[in-house]
Structure 1
Amino acid sequence: MAEKNGDVTAARGPEGSRAAARVSTDIGGPPESVRRSELPGGVRLVTESVPGVRSVALGIWIGIGSVDESPAQAGAAHFLEHLLFKGTRRRTAAGIAEEMDAVGGELNAFTAKEHTCYYAHVLDTDVALAVDLLADVVTDAELAHTDVELERGVVLEEISMRDDDPEDLLGDLFDQTLFGDHPLGRPVIGSEESIRAMSRDTLHTFWQGEYTTPRMVVAAAGNLEHDRIVELVGAALASASRAQASARAVPPRTSTGVRPDRTGALGLQPDESEQAHVMLGVPTEGRLAHARPVLAVLNAALGGGLSSRLFQQVREQRGLAYQVYSSTARYADAGALSVYAGCAPERLGEVVAVVRDVLGEVAADGLTDAEVARAKGSLRGGLVLGCEDTASRMNRLGRAELDHGRQRSVGDSLARITAVTAEEVATVAAELLEQPLTAAVVGPFDEVDELPASLRDL
């Protein structure tokens, strides 16, 4: 599935031996329950032992996503997500499903703009099966011609489903409008044209060239022993690692230096829906910017909850829309702060006017101390509650290793949120929200001229 909207010292020894992986518990402040090793071939392994649970969530993350595709490969990473489960040299597609169903586990994958993850969630007694199955799927799939044609139809159906969901369609349209020709502007799922034209050779070349062990991070969280996971992963990826025997782990993705430069654009996708769906936003710095916690607080106060300013102004006080919220996206090159609302078409002009007024007020005056305090409390609670299950912890481990090459403890993250001041939020709000707004609309409008003036005069 296409993911919706988002930071090492190597040591090697004889292949296949535990000495081949050096373990460190001091990697930038994580608790001792988090341990990291680098295996032969550059595979990074990060685990977190979670007392009191009986499950393990395990994922093989690859630092490759839709931004790494050429125009001819658009949608290849997502297409592969379907194909790799269709069978390997040791397992049929039915066999893969039967093995996981037999232990009551979950097996799935998702593709994003900068990474792909194949993951399993199983009982702790079945972790060996999860490791073997995931490694088999990711490194030894067959990619049979018949399966390519079969899954081509499935992916095209998924594109049609996206087109039938105005909110999903709007997200892709907004990215295209904001980021333009930059790779961030391309849909993760690809286009109907690119998927129809995609050959088996194109997919195979992309898979073999990009899904290599130096780009892999194995993340696991639950009732586990790190050394046991090292042993299982080392054995399961031994063949793939041999092809990259002298390789070192690929460092975290950094900015290409090519920044999207479009602002103030307006995108429209006519759609015979009962509602008008609108997204307005501005570009932000990439995820390595120091203002990340400040932006998170700003976003939470703007549209992150029932007490947020946008929710109160648009829904509670005026009843203009059922759903309104803000969100952020952060990538290596850039990011976005955006606001979504769905409303009756005849109310679109008023909704946009209210949203613009709110953004203008925050840009000019910042947030109140009470708003900042609520936003910080909301973020802290969400962070801690999000760590209550093993799957969330596994996701946190994998993303941190790929994006930053280090782990940050929950305590450190909480401290960074707590340290944000109202003055810092005001500064970031002024920098971002005084930019020209970019907007995208999906709804029953055939031409831009039919849109209300509050959208046309961005």
Structure 2
Amino acid sequence: MLKRITLDNGVRIICEKIPYVRSVSVGVWVGTGSRNETIEINGVSHFIEHMLFKGTNKRSAKEIAESIDSIGGQINAFTGKECTCYYTKTLDTHIDIALDLLTDMFFNSTFSKKDIDVERKVVIEEIGMYEDSPEDLVHDYLPETVWDGDALGMPILGTHDCLHKINRDTIIDYISGHYLPSNTVIAVAGNYDENSLVESIKRNFGSWHTDKTLENQFGKVSFKASKKIKEKDTEQMHICLGFEGIEHGNDDLYPLLAVNNVFGGGMSSRLFQKIREEMGLVYSIYSYPSSYKNAGLYTIYAGMNPRHQDTFLRLVMNDIRILEKYGISEDELAKSKEQLKGSYILGLESTSSRMNSLGKSELMLGIINSPEEVLNKIDAVNNEKVNEVIKRVFQIEKISLAAVGNIKSDIDLGKYI
């Protein structure tokens, strides 16, 4: 049973009772991420996420951790380009503890200078770890390349220079302008007492008031067919090829997901079977769509020995041309749709996955599709829609590239296109 409530102050509550489980997942979602930042304070959203775990007026960082560890629960958070989420997963009998802890962190974090200085070092180490992982780094370089000059292309973690500029005033100012009741969703999935849950959320979040408003109406972002290459002393080189994708909330995402399963989305896909299994040119190869408000990206990734670069690019471009010309077969489409439905239904069995789906949908779109509606959208995918999406997305003359690794010369995509 799905229930949606909007408090008088604008905070939205979206909860789904699943009576046959013993767990409950609670998420506090805020509609702010790296896309809301300026270049001067890039990384502040992610930094604030870290800081909420550093201590409140009544709990130290250790006590926050102990509060959830002592009941065998989980607490974590993540920051994306357009949202930040703080969440717990506990036994249903401990939901009040989880709510109290999340509320305390959300409203009463102290942001002491000492903690800010310590956590700045932690995030700089996180950036360093990321830069030492070229297979992760290349996925950040592609958005920077295709959306150069727009906040959507900025890294979520920020940069060293930006982090050194962030202080307590920066944090307080950013929170006061972005952590707003109208920009917050409380998502709950699992087993709980409905009346008790709603009253508890009202008690914790109902008195939160501010005169500020925030409109996350991001405009259309221009996609740039470009490339970014970083030479790094590694055994493998890592390549991401990118096409302009489909924006969040557009039903064309369903045929694109169906195409992705066939083209590069799994171990049975065309790219995996040909380039890894038959040719043995790569260890890892896959593709995936990413969607945002008024923007989307379709990514093809592979990691390989640099000497296989030429063969890899020729094979991928050839497979893209085959996809453009012939599309996918009825049998491939049928199998892909079953794969999508199976993956979706299995995901519903996890309270944390369900909470994530509810929170993100409510925050980003303001609507929640029921499982039946989602399955109907998948069933409605046909070859006509698939061919339209292939024509829209796989425009080979608008392809972009990001590469990291032992690359001694420029990569000219023109000769492969």
- Residue of structure 1 aligned with 2:400, choices 434, 438, 455: 438
Match of 1:28 in 2: none
Q: Which amino acid aligns with 1:356?
A: M
AA aligned opposite 1:133:
L
Map of 1:65 onto structure 2: 33
Q: Which moved more, 1:73-82 or 1:90-99?
A: 90-99
The alignment status of 1:204 with 2:166, answered yes or no, reads no
2:14 aligned with 1:53, yes or no? no
What is the alpha-carbon root mean square deviation over aligned residues?
Answer: 1.7
SS at match of 2:27: strand
State the secondary structure of the residue aligned to 1:177.
helix
Corresponding residue to 1:168 among 126, 136, 139: 136
Question: Do the aligned residues in 2 keep the contact of 1:280 with 1:338 (CA within 8 Å)?
Answer: yes
Corresponding position of 2:280: 319
Once the two structures are superposed, what CA deviation does each residue of 1:277-303 show, in whole Å capped at 9, x if it has no partner? 101011123113331211111111111
Say whether the 8 Å CA contact 2:314–2:416 is kept in structure 1. no
Which one of the candidate residues 241, 256, 260 is aligned to 1:295?
Answer: 256
Structure 1's 288 and 54: CA in aligned 2 closer, same or farther, altered over 3 A?
closer
**Does residue 284 of the first structure (1) align with residue 252 of the second (2)?**
no
**Kept after mapping to 2: 8 A contact 1:329/1:336:** yes
Tell me the amino acid that sits aligned with residue 401 of structure 2. A
Mapped contact 1:360–1:434 kept (Cα < 8 A): no
Q: 1:46 Cα deviation (Å)? A: 0.7
Task: For 2:369, give the aligned amino acid.
Answer: R
Q: Does 1:189 align with 2:157?
A: yes
SS at match of 1:274: coil
Cα displacement string for residues 373-395 of structure 1 (whole angstroms, at most 9, x for unaligned residues): 12111111100111111101100
Matched residue type, 1:346: R
**Would you say the 8 A contact 2:29–2:85 is kept in 1?**
yes
Are positions 1:150 and 2:112 aligned together? no
Partner of 1:404: 365
1:3-402 alignment to 2 at 5 Å?
33-239=1-207, 241-243=208-210, 253-254=216-217, 256-263=218-225, 265-402=226-363
CA distance in 2, matches of 1:35, 1:299: 33
What does the per-residue CA deviation read over 1:40-85, in whole Å, with 9 as the maximum and x for residues that have no partner?
3111001111122111100000011110011112000000111111
Contact kept? 1:75, 1:187, Cα under 8 Å: yes
Equivalences, count: 416
Paired amino acid for 1:442: V
Which amino acid is 1:363 matched to? E
Residue 364 of structure 1 contacts residue 430 of structure 1 at CA under 8 Å; is this kept in 2?
no
Alignment-derived partner of residue 16 in structure 1? none
Q: Deviations over 1:170-215 (max 9, x none)?
A: 0110111111111111001111111122222111210122111111
CA separation of 1:297 and 1:371: change in aligned 2, threshold 3 A: same
Structure 1 gap ranges (5+): 1-32
How far apart, in 2, do the equivalents of 1:417 and 1:163 lie?
38
Counterpart-to-counterpart distance in 2, 1:224 and 1:108? 20
Q: Percent identity?
A: 36
Alignment CA distance shift 1:37-1:238 (3 Å): closer
**Greater Cα shift, 280-289 or 178-187:** 280-289
CA contact (8 A) 1:353 1:454 kept: no
Query: 2-side partners of 1:278 and 1:286: how far apart?
Result: 23
Deviation at 1:455, TM superposition (A): 6.9
Shift in Å, 1:340? 0.5
Aligned-partner residue type, residue 386 of structure 1? G
Gapped regions of structure 2 (runs ≥ 5): none
Amino acid corresponding to residue 413 of structure 1 in structure 2: V
Find the residue that maps to 2:9 and give its secondary structure: helix
1:366, 1:430 within 8 Å by CA — same for their partners in 2?
Answer: no
Please report the TM-score for the alignment, with normalisation by the length of structure 1: 0.88
Conservation of the 8 A alpha-carbon contact between 1:362 and 1:430: no
Post-superposition shift, 1:222? 0.6
Q: List, as ranges, runs of 4+ consecutive aligned residues in structure 1 with deviation greater than 2 Å.
A: 453-458
State the 1:400 CA deviation: 0.9
Q: Give 1:339 shift.
A: 0.5
Question: Aligned match of 2:381 in 417, 420, 433?
Answer: 420
8 Å Cα contact 2:220-2:295 kept in structure 1 = no
State how far apart, in whole Å, the 2-side matches of 1:416 and 1:237 are: 35
Distance 1:116 1:322 in 2: 33
2:239 & 2:65 partners in 1: Cα distance? 40
